[in-house]
Amino acid sequence: MVVVWTAISYAKPTEVPRDVPRRLFCPLPWEPGSLSHWTVIKVMVKVPAIHIATAIIPALMIAALYFFDHSVAAQIAQPKEFNLKIL
């Protein structure tokens, strides 16, 4: 699949605008450009507060789903016929 997607990225259809990137830029670890993704926290302060507030709602929903999933899985995995004992 890597070879196929690489070949697709080198194909140059005329319908795709030139502004659409064809391949990802991956700098080497020792190049200065590779450190830019570690500095994302600097621009996080520019996120509007309303976006942060609205992101809390699905985050709490997902956290609740994980909690219930863990609880149900624990109940299913520990029935009385397995004779599990607390140490």
Rounded CA-CA distance 5/10 in Å is: 9
Instruction: Average the pLDDT over each of 57-61, 65-69, 78-82 and give the range with the smallest value.
Output: 78-82
Contacts of 12 (CB under 8 A, 6+ apart): 22
Q: Is residue 58 scored above 80 in pLDDT? A: yes
Enter the DSSP assignment of 51: H
The number of residues making up the chain comes to 87
Q: List, for residues 25-45, the tens digit of each pLDDT value.
A: 777 878 876 776 677 778 888
Residue 87 lies in a domain: no
Whether 30 is covered by a domain: the verdict is yes
Domain count, the chain: 1
Question: Residue 85: which pLDDT band, with cuts at 50, 70 and 90?
Answer: confident
Which single residue is written with the structure tokens 């502004």?
19
On whether residue 77 sits in a domain, the answer given is: yes
Q: Is the pLDDT of residue 64 over 90?
A: yes
Residue ranges making up the domain that contains 23: 2-82
